[in-house]
Amino acid sequence: MRIIAGIAKGKRLFAPQGLSIRPTSDKVREAIFNILGKEFCYKAVLDLFAGTGAMGIETLSRGAEHAVFVDNNASALRIIKKNLDTCGLTERYNIIKMDVIKALQPSAFRLGKGFNLIFIDPPYRREDAGTILELIEKNKLLADDGIIVLETSKRTGVDESLLRLKEFDVRRYGDTVVRFYKNFKERIQ
């Protein structure tokens, strides 16, 4: 794995074998950032189920003002810190060890609000992506015109019936499905 663009372009990321971490492949990560476009302003980024931190680190490399990494796995958090150090990114981030559902509760708002980009990449065995989207929406964690990128298994269904978020793109890469949602400032039908 490597960083694709920005100040840390080409830096290799540590991704240990044998842990329950399933990092987004370079191919899928590059496709995601191509869909977001070069003009997208990476301001405040939230990386849920951060794993190796590759998604959030990519945004910091591309100029994000701040990134918050959330994962409940102590080994993953050490990997994220190591990868940030390897890329020379020594500030502009927070790393939080907490279950994602708990981290999205109002009582845990160490996260902050107004993220303009949120990555959600749960383990494929989890079936609560719809709940996570609802919590983000309910607690107003996504800024107006902010984007959520949700990566799941093709076998994972997402109940979107209660969401105000608008799905604007879906891509399939083998067993992986990447959904893009936008919090349109002006609601479109």
pTM: 0.90
Closest CA to 2 of 16, 14, 18, 17: 14
Pair of tokens at residue 183: 């919090």
Specify whether the backbone of 167 is left (phi greater than 0), alpha (psi in -120 to 50) or beta.
beta
The residues, ordered by sequence, that sit 6+ positions from 62 with a Cβ below 8 Å of its Cβ are 5, 6, 33, 42
Q: What is the pLDDT of residues 19-69, one digit of tens each?
A: 566 677 778 889 999 999 877 788 999 999 999 999 999 999 999 999 999
Q: Hey, what domains does the chain have and what are their CATH numbers?
A: 26-182 (3.40.50.150)
Phi-psi region of 184 (alpha: psi -120 to 50; beta: other; left: phi over 0): beta
Residue with tokens 């080994």: 75
